[in-house]
Structure 1
Amino acid sequence: MAMVVCVGAVFFMLGLLLYGYYAWMKRVNALRSRLQRAHVQASVINYDEGDLGDLPDPVKRYFSAVLRDGQPLVSHVNITHSGTFNTGGEKDRWVPFRSKQCVVTRRPGFVWDARVRIAPGMVVSVYDAYVAGKGALSAKILGLVSVMEQPSTPELAQGELMRFFAECTWYPTALLPSQGVRWEPINASQARAAITDEGREVVLVFTFDKQGLMASVYSDGRYRDIDGEQVATPWEGRFWNYQWRHGMMVPLEGEVSWLLPEGPCPYWRGRIQKIEYVFHSHPVVHR
C-alpha cells in the first residue's frame, strides 16, 4: 500500500510539474506572438558610417569601435543568459538563474523568460516584457503559484522600455539615429540619448571607455517597486567582456544595480551563453 501511495505521489508531482510548465509557456508564447505581430520593417537595412553626421564624438567613436561599414541592421535577437539574481533586496541573497530572451528592435520590444532556483528543488518562473507599448512582469513557483504579478501601469511600461534601451548594447545597430535614437553631447566620455514609443520617452546617459566601448548606462529615475508603490530610483547597468559577434562588438557580461543613498545595490549579474541575430536582409546567424 505504501508503495502505491509513493508511486501515486510521484505521478501526481510529475503531472503538476508538466501542467505548470505548459500553463506558463502558454502565457510566454502569447507574449512572444504579440511581440512578433508588433514588428515593423525598417526602411534602412544597413549601417553607413557616413550617416553619423553631427553625433557627439564619444558616440561616433562607439559606432566606429563596434560596427563595420555596411553592417546589416538587426531586426530580431534571441539570447540565452545565465547568472545570479539577488532575491534579498538590500540584503544580498544571490541565487542562480537561466533565461531566454527574444527581442524585436522595431517597434521596440522584448520577452525575457527565466528560471530562478531559489532553493533546492524550488524553481520560480519569471517573465519580464515590453510588448506593443505595454509592460509585463510575473513570477510563479513551478509556473503555478503566483509570488509577484505587477499590473500593466505606465510606470512599469516606462521601466521596461528603459530596459530595452539599455540592452541595445547587445544589438548596437538599434542605437543608430536612423532607428529613431536622438543623441546629445555631455562631455568627452558621455552622451545622453532618448527614444520614444507609444508617446512614451525614455532617456539614458551612456558612458564610454577609452576604447570607445559602452561601459555603462544610467537613469536618474527608473521606477522601483517598494511595498507596492512605484518609486523613481537612480539605476545603472554596466557591461564588459566585449567580443565580436557577426560583425558587431558586443559585451558578454553585465551587472544591473539600483543606486541607493547608502550605495549601489546590484540585483542582476549575467553572461550571454548564446546570441542569435536576424538581420533585415539576412537569415538567422548562430554564433
Structure 2
Amino acid sequence: MSKVSKTYQKRTEDEMRLKEAWDGKGMIDSASLPEPVRRHLRLCGYEGRRLPVAGSVIWKESSIRFGPDKPWTSLVTKQFNSCVTPFRAAYMKTRMFGILPFEGLDLCIGGTGSMLGKLAGVINVLDEKGVEFDTSGLVTLLAEATMIPGMLLMPYISWGKAEGSTVNASMTLKGITVGGRFIFGEDGLFRIFESDDRYYANPKGGNEIRPWKVECERYDEADGIKFQSHVTASWQLPEGRYEYWRGTIERVESGSGGVLFS
C-alpha cells in the first residue's frame, strides 16, 4: 500500500473512531430546516428514519479534466465524509499520460484543507495548504452535505429563508465563512449547489475565486433511500463553462447511528 493510500486509510479510520465516540450534542432540530430541505429529505425516504452522520461514498466510475482544453482522464476514487469534525477525504488514482501512476488526496479536516499528489508513489507533484485550500475544502463539504444528510443539522451550518426552490446556506469554521445556494428541482429533490467562494487553480498560475457549481443529474435508490447517483462539477470562467469532474455513485455506506428525522 502506498503512502498516499495509507494516509487516506489512517485519516478515515481516525474519523470513524471519533464518530463512534460522538454523542450528537449541538445538532439543531430537523424541524428548523427550511421546508425545501425537509421536503427533499422526505422524498429521499428519511421520514421516521435516521440521517447518517458519516459514510463512505462508493464511486462506480469517475473522471477528471486537468484543464479546460484537456481530455477526460478516468479515476479510481474513494471518499469518506463525516459531519463530526467535520471531515472529508477523497483519494484518487490514475495514470498520467497513460503511463505514470498518480495518486491524489484531497483532505478537509475541521476546516483545514490540503491537497497531496504523488507520481509513482514517491515524487511530490502537489503538496498544497493554506487559506485557499481551507476555504475551498469548506465549500466542498457544504456542497456535499446532502450526501451525508446529518451534516444539514450541524451548528456550523446556518440556513437562510427559502426563496422559491432556492435556499442559501453558510458554513463557518476556524474563522472562515463560506456560502452557497442549494437549488431544488421541480420534483423537490436537490439538484444544484452554487457558490462564489471557492478558489480555482489557474493553470497559468495562482488561485482565484470563480463561480463553482455541482449538479446532481440523477438519483438511484437502495434500501428505501434515494441517493445522488450522477454528479458533475464545473467552473464558470470568463471564456465559458469548464466541467472538470463527473462521476457515478454506486451507493453510500453510512452504517448505523445518526439522528432521527421527523
TM-score range (shorter-chain normalised) is: 0.7 to 0.9
Deviation per CA, 1:15-73: give whole Å up to 9, x if none. Answer: xxxxxx4333333334335544654431389x98xx424x4443332232224322213
| Correspondence for 1:42 | 24
Tell me which moved more, 102-111 or 34-43. Answer: 34-43
| Correspondence for 2:125 | 147
> Whose relative contact order is higher, 1 or 2, with alpha carbons under 8 Å and at least 6 apart?
2
Relative distance call for 1:182 and 1:132 in structure 2 (3 A) is closer
Q: Does the CA-based 8 Å contact 1:194-1:203 persist in structure 2?
A: yes
Q: Secondary structure at the match of 2:68?
A: coil
Structure 1 segment 52-131 matched on structure 2, within 5 A: 52-53=31-32, 55-81=33-59, 82-87=61-66, 89-131=67-109
TM-score (norm 2): 0.86
Q: Distance between the aligned counterparts of 1:67 and 1:26, measured in 2?
A: 35
Indicate the structure (1 or 2) with the bigger Cα radius of gyration: 1
CA-CA distance at 1:156 after TM superposition: 0.5
Q: Distance between the aligned counterparts of 1:196 and 1:278, measured in 2?
A: 27
Q: Distance between the aligned counterparts of 1:260 and 1:266, measured in 2?
A: 10
| Correspondence for 2:189 | 213
Q: Does the CA-based 8 Å contact 1:133-1:197 persist in structure 2?
A: yes
Deviation per CA, 1:254-282: give whole Å up to 9, x if none. Answer: 10001112211011011113421123269
Q: Give the superposed CA RMSD.
A: 2.5
CA-CA distance at 1:198 after TM superposition: 2.5
Q: Distance between the aligned counterparts of 1:37 and 1:62, measured in 2?
A: 30
| Correspondence for 1:23 | 3
Question: Structure 1 runs of 4+ off > 6 angstroms?
Answer: none
Q: Distance between the aligned counterparts of 1:115 and 1:156, measured in 2?
A: 20
Q: Distance between the aligned counterparts of 1:42 and 1:57, measured in 2?
A: 23
Tell me which moved more, 55-64 or 260-269. Answer: 55-64
CA-CA distance at 1:146 after TM superposition: 1.8
Q: Secondary structure at the match of 2:84?
A: coil
5+ long unaligned stretches in structure 1:
1-20, 283-287
CA-CA distance at 1:142 after TM superposition: 2.0
Relative distance call for 1:80 and 1:117 in structure 2 (3 A) is farther
| Correspondence for 2:249 | 272
How many correspondences in the alignment? 255
Q: Does the CA-based 8 Å contact 2:12-2:89 persist in structure 1?
A: yes
Say whether residues 1:233 and 2:213 are aligned partners: no
Relative distance call for 1:120 and 1:262 in structure 2 (3 A) is closer
Q: Does the CA-based 8 Å contact 2:35-2:162 persist in structure 1?
A: no
Q: Secondary structure at the match of 2:255?
A: strand
Relative distance call for 1:110 and 1:56 in structure 2 (3 A) is closer
Percent identity over the alignment is 24
